[in-house]
Amino acid sequence: MGFKANFSKMNIFDSYYQKYDEWFEKPFGKSAYNLELQCLNKIIGSFNRGLEIGVGTGRFAEKLNVKYGVDISFNMLKVAKSRNIVVLKSKGEQLPFKNEVFDLVLIVVSLCFVKEPFLVLKESYRVLKNDGKLVLGLILWDSPWAQFYKNKKEHPLYQKAFFYSYYEICAMLELSKFKINKVLTTLFEKPQDEKPIENFEIKEGFHKEGGFVCISSSKV
């Protein structure tokens, strides 16, 4: 089974880092961000040393107390560093860390932007301690939100995304020797990105009508 996205140019993240970060302060972005944080907080639990792969500008790492972050965008990493994240410029497919050094690896949305997601998950496995956890925050192909973002021509970042189905994510986790422990779904609204969200429900399990899915898994 092959999982490989085809991205020819990834420097778009360096070009749009300011617009990306400003999105979190807009009416829809701010409300969606806060809801996604709630969902992630419910599933992460306690940990000591965390790493975020695809840390971006550090918005999630900062609020979730994840102290280390890697990304391929130099400009995004500068912003993340200003938020007191220890940052390294690196691909998720080849992490610059020794084996078993973190008890949390966090990947929020970034899996749909990497070239080889299966390798990212294998690297996550390698750097996790035996009792550590991998937490994913995802927009999935099954959801109407995936199509909404793909169809927005004025959204240059999501034009580069390759959304995976829930089945594909589960298969990749299994092949990477991860066991899924808990799944939560939120953002149960008709897709839009202008007005603040109104439905703050977070449901147990996977629901394809939801826009944001959180998965917690551990090493087998």
pLDDT at residue 214 tops 60? yes
pLDDT at residue 154 tops 80? no
**Contact indicator for 49, 103 with CB cutoff of 8 Å:** yes
In whole angstroms, give the CA distance from residue 108 to residue 120.
Answer: 13
In whole angstroms, give the CA distance from residue 178 to residue 124.
Answer: 10
Please give the angle made by the CA atoms of 149, 61 and 172, to the nearest 5 degrees: 60
How much is the pTM?
Answer: 0.93
Count CB atoms within 10 A of the CB of residue 18: 12
In whole angstroms, give the CA distance from residue 76 to residue 82.
Answer: 10
In whole angstroms, give the CA distance from residue 75 to residue 214.
Answer: 27
In whole angstroms, give the CA distance from residue 95 to residue 66.
Answer: 16
In whole angstroms, give the CA distance from residue 59 to residue 25.
Answer: 11
Lateral strand order in the sheet of 68-71:
86-89, 68-71, 50-53, 102-108, 128-138, 212-219, 178-186, 202-204
**Contact indicator for 203, 210 with CB cutoff of 8 Å:** yes
Count CB atoms within 10 A of the CB of residue 9: 8
The one-letter code for the residue type at 4 is K
pLDDT in tens, 3-39: 444 444 456 788 888 988 999 999 999 999 999 999 9
pLDDT of residue 6: 44
Strand partners, 216: 135, 182
pLDDT in tens, 50-105: 999 999 999 999 999 999 999 999 999 999 999 999 999 999 999 999 999 999 99
- Give the domains, in start order, of the chain with CATH numbers: 26-219 (3.40.50.150)
In whole angstroms, give the CA distance from residue 167 to residue 140.
Answer: 10
Model confidence band, residue 151 (pLDDT cutoffs 50, 70, 90): confident
